Structures are given as C-alpha cells and as structure tokens.
Structure 1
C-alpha cells in the first residue's frame, strides 16, 4: 500500500503578481475521491490571468487558490467506496462539476451551461474551487477518465484543452470539405486546427500576431497562415466557418470580415466582461451565424480515443516543459506567445 504524504508541492495564486510554489495540504480523501499523483499540468490562459491580474474575467481572487485544471496522472489510492479506477491506473481529469446554481434555465443535455457549474482552479465562487497543480490531489472519481495504454501521460496532458477545441468544432457543424478560418493560433487555436484537420476540413487558414504560433498551426494541419495585421488578406478568405480563439474584439472583427456570406462564426476566445465593440451590421447584412462555445461536455472521451489512435495529431502544440518547482519560470514562458505554445508543468519529480 502506498504511503501518502500529508502535503505536497503546489502552485498557488495569492494575488495579482503573487504566484508561489509552496507546500499544500493533502486532506483525507472523501469516500468517493481517489488520490491522484499528478504527472503533468498544462498552463491555461485562466491560470495566467489569476497570476497576472488576480482575476480571470469576472472571477476575482478573494483568497489564495491552488491553480490548475489541465492535469493527468496516476491513481495513487482508489476511492474507499469502490467507485472509479484502481490504484495504478493512468487517468485524465474532467475538471467540471455541473450544478443547478440559482435554478436558471439551461438545456439539460448541455451541463457545461448549468448555472452552478464549477471548475477546478476557479475563483468564480467563494470559497474558491481549488485546482490540481500539486503532486498529490484528491479528486472525485466521476472526474477521472482511464487512459488507454497507447496514450502516454505527457501526450494526454492535452486532453482537457483538446476537448475545448473539439467542442468548438462541434459548434461549427459539419466542416468536412469546407474552408475554415481560425483567428488566434495559440494552444486552443492550434488544437482547433488539429481537430479541423481530423474532421476533414478542405482548407484551414490560420491567423496570429506571431510567427511561432503560425509555425505550430502549419505543423498540426493549417493549409496556409496569415498575419493578424493583414486585414485585406483575412477579409479575402471568405471562409464557410470562422473560429475566433484570440479572445479580443479585434479578432472577432477579423472573423466577421473573413466569413463568407451566410457563414458561421464560432466564438471560443473569452472576451473581457462588459460591452465589446463588434461588427454587428456586417453580421446582419451577411446573415452570419454568431455562435458561442464554452468548455465541453462528454467530448473528452472522444478526444482520449483520438489521441490514443493517432487520428488527432497535436504533439507540436506542446513546446516547453518545466519541473513544478520552476513554475514561476514556466508561467513567464507561457505568457510569451511569441515563443511558446502549451507549457507543461511536471510534478512527478517536484519533490
């Protein structure tokens, strides 16, 4: 039987500009929780926002919070109630917990939209939902997805963000044989391109401000790339479908301009809260469909299978790897989109 520690090294956001690598307690697991030894964690844009601004959108830090939701690892101790995978099983993590919240109406088959949904490493509610950037973490077994032997833990570190991309492409409808424009080629944009390639898109045009993300975009399936400053070339694409993953209103404007008449624009990148400028008149006169995409549901199971069988090729998205003890350096690299794609933290040699 594995002897578990009472604490392990974690990555904690205390306030804007205050990120610490420090011991975090490992409490006794509840009956429906397994103890997972985290192998890898991917740094997400929300993690960067908590570090840089003390908030991610309207989710504001009110107390120190363990970051991280893109994690994979191995079950160190199975749940006491007998649910979930056995000790020694490699797992990915679905970080959402749907809930009714205030009772607001939402489609029952889309739990990602449930008003009370929580997410690992989120300050949307208080007390905050602690994340999983620690060597050992207790997780409900319903969050765990067993990994096939053919899928390495390192490659599986992309499961969560690739599920976001998979959901976004599903919101675009059937893309087979179509011309698709992807605005923003950071990790989510690049994963969207990889999913589009697998889904049979005939032409994929990637846009970004920097050459490094465009290089990654080409490696995972982009037919051609454009600089975000080339407004004329973007407008000339006339894409059947546009996916906006830059998360700013300039990117949304590019997506609207780059869409063909009658096309669909899927909004993936989370814009700042409050009113945003938008080319609504152009969307109206072109009869564009503007569609939101938020997180994911059961797509995670399809993503695991596709990564395992090699039909979803996304390895170039992972550009850097750091020991968790060097998280400050890793976050600095992840912030620089001109140099990095997905930056991984490695926890299994952190102590």
Structure 2
C-alpha cells in the first residue's frame, strides 16, 4: 500500500451547529454490492454549509454526527464483491441518490428524484443519517459509480453532480435554443446553469448577482452580467426563460419580474420552508409557467459526456482547492460568495490551490 493510502482516513464530520471536525475515520468495510473508492476531489455544496452553520439543511436536522459531502469523484480501489460496478483502477463520478418507493406517496416512475423516501449522500433527512463521502476512502454502492469518459480528468469531473442539478433545471424549461435566458443568482449552481444554457444553444444568457466576483465569473462563462439590485433593468429584459437559482425571496420576485409574458420561470434555488411572499398576481396575469426543479435523474451521464467533449464549458466555476486537512478553512471560504465559487476539497496527492 502506498504512503498516501497508509495515511489516516481523514474525513469532514458535522457534529452539531458550528461544530464540524476533520477526523480520522475507520477504514471502510464494504457490503457485497459496495466498492471502496479513493476520493480525489469533493465540492462543497450549500447543504454542507447549512449543516455547519445551522445544524440543519432545510427540514433535515442534524441529530447525530454525519460525514458530509456528496459532490465527489475518485478511483475504485476495491470493486464490489458481487461483481457489479466498475473494476479496480476505474476513475468514477458518483450519483449520490438512492430512490426508494415506500408507498407513502405516489411519484412518476420516470422521475425517481421525486421519490419521497429516497436518500442522498450526506443528508440528515432520515435516521440514521445517510453518511456522505468527504473522506480519503469510502465504501459506496457500485450502482452509484459512473466511469469517467476517456480524456476527462478528475478535477473537472468533480463538477458533474452540481452540473447535473443545473442541467435538470434548465431542462425543466424545455428547449432553450435561440432563447434569451435569465439566471438569477450566480453562485455555483447559477454559474453552471449559465454553462448549461449556452451548451443547449441559448441565444443570450443574462445573469444577476449582488457581488462582483460571481458577476465576473458569469461574464467568463459567456453571460451578460447585471447587478441584482437593478430592478428596473431586470424587468426590462423580458426573458423567455428565467432560472431562479438564488433560493431567496427577492430572487424569486426578480425572476417573475424579468420573465416575458407567457415565459417560463424555473425555481431551481430551494426556498426556505414555510410561506413566502411571491408576486403571484404578475405571474397569473402574464400567464407565466412556474416550474420546480429538484436534484436530477440520469442527467449526470449527459454532463460527463459534455464535460469530456468540451461542449460544456464549466471549468471556470472552480475557484479554490484546499486539502482535507484544511476542511474548516474550505468551509469558511465557500460561505463567502463575494470571493469564491465552487470550492474543492482534495483528499490525495493533489495539491490544494488558493486560486
């Protein structure tokens, strides 16, 4: 075993609100249908930040220590004993969802992302919690593993999971080819929505944000950037499709304002639980289509191919890389949208870069 593999199996574990620790974990003991994966990169998601800052992500409340992380890529060390899944040495991305139909509520068979009892890596929605994969070595169900296309490196592939969220969200609007697309909020998901919309042939993409850093990123991705406080300018856009990715009440109001009559607003950013104020009269009288978007299904496969062939220009979304030993610094960096976009944790021999 290499020196790197003999190193402590460090992981990022949430214990409670404002209590996340870098800890040495036991070596994974896989079930027959699980492979042991050596994690290379892990992207910090908004849900990871919520567990750290609030001890909860929406209605998923942390009630026991939980390994964070679901945006992960790596290399198979030990294949599943039952013969399923990729062989040792295969570089893989991970689809972190497990659809479960427990009969509690019906959902379309072709939309397993809507299964009410489904689980997700790094989620406290259920007890026991579903452990994430921010560790040097983890055991994962072989069915979750997606071999990387030839030529796609692990660093870029680390964007596959959040890009699949954006791909699904843009897809909820239908065909965007030749249309004007407005993206509200240029955090990592909004930035990836810009890249996806351009990949799908949008004639123009306009993006808004409060901060200069994400607006500059939007322009690097080929969008026209606007200050999110420019209410008059946003209302004058008359966008065919609006992707609301901020998950804020003002963002949703801006999305409705920026849509043309008869246009479509995709609610990609998750709003807070409970009632919120929405300008529904405008949505009704302008006959807007409001559609939700939650996670994704098999879009991750399309994303991997698009990243590999270069048609999805997403690399600029990665802003920083820090080693797992600096996991708390990475969280601090990721929470500050004025200076960062997608912050990656590195787990192996990859050197972290404060870009």
Assess same fold via TM > 0.5.
Answer: yes
Cα deviations across residues 43-65 of structure 1 (Å, max 9, x unaligned)? 00000000000000000000110
Q: CA deviation at 1:349?
A: 3.8
Structural mapping, 1:234-245, within 5 Å: 234-245=234-245
CA distance in 1, matches of 2:256, 2:182: 10
1:18 match: 19
2:73 match: 72
2:136 match: 135
Structural mapping, 1:45-60, within 5 Å: 45-60=46-61
CA distance in 2, matches of 1:256, 1:248: 13
Contact 1:6 1:26 in 2 (8 A): no
Count of aligned positions: 350
CA distance in 1, matches of 2:68, 2:349: 18
Structural mapping, 1:85-96, within 5 Å: 85-96=86-97
Which segments of 5 or more consecutive residues in structure 1 lack a partner in the other structure? none
Matched, 1:198 2:203: no
Contact 2:264 2:290 in 1 (8 A): yes
SS in 2 for 1:241: strand
Shift >3 Å, 4+ stretches: 1-7
Structural mapping, 1:1-351, within 5 Å: 8-222=9-223, 224-349=224-349
CA distance in 2, matches of 1:244, 1:24: 38
Q: CA deviation at 1:102?
A: 4.5
Q: CA deviation at 1:5?
A: 6.2
Contact 2:28 2:137 in 1 (8 A): no
CA distance in 1, matches of 2:233, 2:248: 19
Which segments of 5 or more consecutive residues in structure 2 lack a partner in the other structure? 351-355
Contact 1:6 1:25 in 2 (8 A): no
Contact 2:28 2:36 in 1 (8 A): no
Cα deviations across residues 267-321 of structure 1 (Å, max 9, x unaligned)? 0000111111101111000000100000000001100000000000111100000
SS in 1 for 2:172: helix
Give the aligned CA root-mean-square deviation in angstroms.
1.6
CA distance in 1, matches of 2:255, 2:277: 13
SS in 1 for 2:161: helix
Cα deviations across residues 205-239 of structure 1 (Å, max 9, x unaligned)? 100000100111111121x1110111000010000
TM-score of the pair, normalised by structure 1: 0.97
CA distance in 2, matches of 1:67, 1:26: 16
Change over 3 Å in CA distance of 1:266–1:277 after alignment to 2: same
